Amino acid sequence: MPSCGGRGTAPSVRWDPEVATYFSACFGASRLAAMSSALARPGLTPSLRVNTLTSRPQDVVRRLTDMQEQSEREESERRRRLASVVSPPAGSELAPAEVSTTITVASAMQTAVVEGDAAAASGGGSDDGWRRPAPRRHRLLRDAVILSGRGPREVSYTQGMKEAVVNRFAAEAVLKGAHVYAPGLLAASPGIVEGDWVAVSAALERPAPQLGWGRQRQRQQQQPAGNSSSCGSSTAAGAGTAAAGGAVVATAEEGPEEGPEEGAEEGVPSAALTDADALATAADAAEAGLDADADPVGWSGSSSSDVVGSSSTEGGSSSGSSSKGRKSKSARRRLVVGIARGTPVGPDGRVELAWAKQLQRRPGAEGRGREVGSSTASNGVSSSSTDGPIAFAGSVTASTGAPSATAAEAEAAGDVADEEHCYSRPAERLYLGVARAAGGRRALFRSSTGLVLQMQDRLYDVPSCNGLLRGEVMLQALPSIAAVAALTGSSSTSCSSSSSSSSSSSTGSSSPAELPRGARVLDMCAAPGGKSTALAAAVAAVGGRVVALDRTHNKIREITSLAADLGVTPWLEAYKHDATQVVAAAVAHDGAAVARDHAAVAAPVNTEAAAAAADGQAAASAPDAADAATPPLGPPLGPPPYPPATFDAVLLDPPCSALGLRPRLLHSWTLPQLRALAAYQRSLIVAAVAALRPGGTLVYCTCTVSPPENEANVAWALDRYAGVLQLESAQPLLGLPGLTGADPVTGERWLRPEEAEMVQRFDPGLLLPGRRMRQQQGKEEEGGARSQEAGTEGRQAQQLAPSSDTCAAGAEEAAAEEQQQQQQEEEEEEGDDVMGFFIARFRKVR
Ligand SMILES: C[S@@+](CC[C@H](N)C(=O)[O-])C[C@H]1O[C@@H](n2cnc3c(N)ncnc32)[C@H](O)[C@@H]1O
């Protein structure tokens, strides 16, 4: 029996209860439950975008496959050597599981020595006989390469193993492949020495007791009624400190630092304009995986709170505290982990919470259950209570194995309830795997930066891709690659007009997007630049230019440095600018004339160069900036603002609630906040339409599942710009159709059936295009749900028509690819495990 039994391994993301109820009405309970559990785990098929200016996707696949095979050979050799050394001595009391853990851990440790190296990233075979499927090209997105991971796995924890408890941010990073860095470590067993094996678990936030939080309660009472149920009622010190969940209230008090003028645009709700800056900041924080409401460290006011959890890069490596983290910690929060940094883990795995002593010292502590502000059950599910600030929805709460309790039960339980308030227990934590301590216990807590726990055996085994083929590939989610392809046609349609037009006829939509020669492309909200750099690679083929805007100075640096890494600098201009102001109202230009002039020079092209570059042909040898293979570049556009109708294509990937990012264990957005964010996005849509020339293409995408930010905004744009904007099929269609009908709360319209068919909704965990998804679709239909899955199979079948992918240059290569594809189909049975996302494509017709 392990020392810390009852380990939770199957979490679900926790939502604000009102949001959970709303989403349940939007999606149906079973679809929401599936999404919630998928969100709490990492995607098991990470994708890479190949930089087609430097490399050909098929070459990248070959090299990655070689690396993986090499790594597998080395791994099995290591294992063979270890097995001869680590065999249970005769009469040993070691259980077989312990031996197997020892071997797994030892071999993983050796692999970790080459961390950052492609061999480690690609991973090898494992001791349990699992073989990582070979990297493969995506069938529709020709510059996408899909890798494979697995999980949840059975991790063996040996008897008496020491323990370490980390915060949620560190946990989310670990789930996607990172190790644990100092700021994320909360508690550890006494006596840990360097090299010790440690069971790593995550303590999730819980509502804090009101003890000592008088001022906060006072503030809470001052809030407008509409926000009273908000879990985001933190009173941040200023707009700059507002992060997810705290934004609306904070800025109502403090006022935005900058932002569009109130009422500036008819039809854009004023909520969008009042809290613009705070909302955008909040969305930034959400996209970075930070929640203002959730104190990643613990007890607010404890000396530990100056250290914020480790954040991770997309590549999966974890870093120290981020500036966003520092911002968010200054907000007063009521969702806290409650573990002071450095707390010892007891022999039974219990960890004392920071307020335990105060609770125990309270007079009349016998009735303790009642005196504690929020009656919180042991699994973190909060029941209703008079002054309990937050009640997370039990139906979608982490399934930790511990029973939930009602308020009455908690009260009746008396001392037991108090126990629950005083300790974090193993059964309510999420166990992430086994790590090796990078130092002795004191050293682990003394430092505020650096690696403290090197993960060895993980719940999820996902390739980290950190530093993999630098400059040639970048880690990018499949739907993000699809969004760029929907705007440029570069990824999938360089030679697939036949398949595209066949799907067009069924949706009544037009032909795939094409970039005109000298295309001017605007990426309105561009940082960190994943999509901008993909756009730049696409416009290189037509001698075009991409203007990338972001409102944050430091983020512009991120874009330019990524562009330099990928060699797309010549085609990319990045400026710090508020995209709602991209077109200056006061610009003394005749917008229509500008549009006419530009349209005249922008003759549509689908040149060989475009097709070749899209397929990675153009750049088998890395080109210099203005390589002969790429058309000459026109002059730069220079900084904004621009005259109206300047751009041929606009990508609007606005700040959003990021409710599609994985893995996430908690989302604290409230419904009013989601709606305010949607309104802010409308102000960006208005600017996008102004910047786009007639005949141009607008792609609107978000990484959230929230209907107000997706279907409702698309419907709003179509109604507001009737006769100006037309919806087009956002090909290549990988996702599900959008939601039809109307918002269950406001009655605002969503999409009409024919419109829903043209957009792409990616549910988190949606498996594309595997058989499992199709099977699930059959099973998951639920009465009353607004699921739009019907027709998806037809959509997939259309997209998978052989014509879409058999036009690679050269019959031989096409035949080889087809053969490879057939093999892959077997391996692809599981499909692609995507993040939550949404894509819509519009044409500005006049
Ligand atoms: C979803 S992220 C964009 C991700 C990016 N498209 C990519 O693929 O790498 C949203 C970005 O919008 C920026 N942003 C928010 N409000 C903005 C505004 N008014 N103008 C320009 N950028 C804004 C944020 O700083 C953030 O970097």
Residues 671-684 pLDDT 10s: 999 999 999 999 99
Q: How confident is the model at residue 280 (pLDDT cuts 50, 70, 90)?
A: confident
Tell me the range of 257-261, 356-360, 520-524 where mean pLDDT is highest. Answer: 520-524
Please report the beta strands in 71-210, taking only residues with DSSP state E, as ranges in sequence order. Answer: 136-137, 144-146, 162-166, 180-181, 185-188, 197-202, 206-207
- The verdict on whether 703 is a catalytic residue reads yes
Q: Structure pTM?
A: 0.74
Residues forming the annotated binding site? 525-531, 550, 578, 653
Q: Which residue has the higher pLDDT, 778 or 577?
A: 577
Token code pair at residue 269? 């709700």
Q: How confident is the model at residue 421 (pLDDT cuts 50, 70, 90)?
A: confident
Cis preceding linkage at 769, omega within 30: yes
Q: Would you say the CB of residue 520 lies under 6 angstroms from ligand 1?
A: no
Whole-number Å distance, alpha carbon 84 to ligand 1 midpoint, is 54
718-773 pLDDT, tens digit per residue, is: 999 999 999 999 999 999 999 999 999 999 999 999 999 999 999 998 887 644 34
pLDDT value at position 831? 77
Residue with tokens 């786009």: 692
* pLDDT category of residue 352 using cuts at 50, 70 and 90: very high
554 pocket-lining for ligand 1 (C-beta < 6 Å): no
- pLDDT score for 767: 80
pLDDT, position 811: 67
The answer to whether the CB of 660 is under 6 A from ligand 1 is: no
| pLDDT band per the 50, 70, 90 thresholds, residue 220 | very low
Q: Of 213-222, 248-257, 489-498, 578-587, where does the model show the most confidence?
A: 578-587
ipTM (interface pTM): 0.99
Residues 293-334 have pLDDT tens digits of 444 333 322 222 222 223 333 333 333 333 333 333 333 346
User: Among the options 231, 656, 703, 807, which is catalytic?
Assistant: 703
pLDDT band at residue 410 using 50, 70 and 90 as cut-offs: very low
Give the pLDDT mean for 281-301: 55
- CB count, 10 Å around CB of 493? 25
Structural domains of the chain, ranges and CATH numbers in brackets: 479-844 (3.40.50.150)
Among positive and negative, which fits the CA dihedral 18, 701, 309, 170? positive
pLDDT tens-place string over residues 589-605: 444 443 344 444 333 33
What does pLDDT average to over the chain?
A: 71
Dmax over Cα atoms in the chain, in whole Å? 90
Which residue of 314, 324, 481, 525 sits with most ligand 1 atoms within 8 Å of its CB, as the best mutation to test the pocket?
Answer: 525
- Categorize the per-residue pLDDT at 8 as very low, low, confident or very high, splitting at 50, 70 and 90: low
Taking the centre of ligand 1 as the mean of its atom positions, its distance from the CA of residue 530, in whole angstroms, is 11
Task: Tell me, letter by letter, the H, E, C secondary structure of 544-585.
Answer: CEEEEEECCHHHHHHHHHHHHHHCCHHHEEEEECCHHHCECC
User: Residue 54: helix, strand or coil by DSSP?
Assistant: coil
Residue 795: per-residue pLDDT: 53
Q: For 513-539, what is the mean pLDDT?
A: 94
Give the distance (Å) from ligand 1 centre to CA of residue 836.
Answer: 17
Find out whether the beta carbon of 550 lies less than 6 Å from any atom of ligand 1. Answer: yes
Percent over 70 (pLDDT), the chain: 58
Residue 471's pLDDT band (cuts 50, 70, 90) = very high
Question: In 127-216, at which residue ranges do the beta strands (DSSP E only) sit?
Answer: 136-137, 144-146, 162-166, 180-181, 185-188, 197-202, 206-207
pLDDT given at position 206: 83
pLDDT, greater one: 388 or 166: 166
Instruction: Output the residue whose Cα is nearest ligand 1's atom 27.
Output: 527
**Residue 367: which pLDDT band, with cuts at 50, 70 and 90?**
very low
pLDDT tier, 158 (very low <50, low <70, confident <90, very high otherwise): confident
Is the CB of 552 within 6 Å of ligand 1?
Answer: yes
Q: Is the CB of 49 under 6 A from ligand 1?
A: no
pLDDT for res 612: 41
Mean pLDDT check: name the lowest of 11-25, 298-312, 648-662.
298-312
Given the CA of residue 655, which atom of ligand 1 is nearest to it? 10
In short, whether 78's Cβ falls inside 6 Å of ligand 1 is no
- Tell me the binding residues for S-adenosyl-L-methionine: 525-531, 550, 578, 653
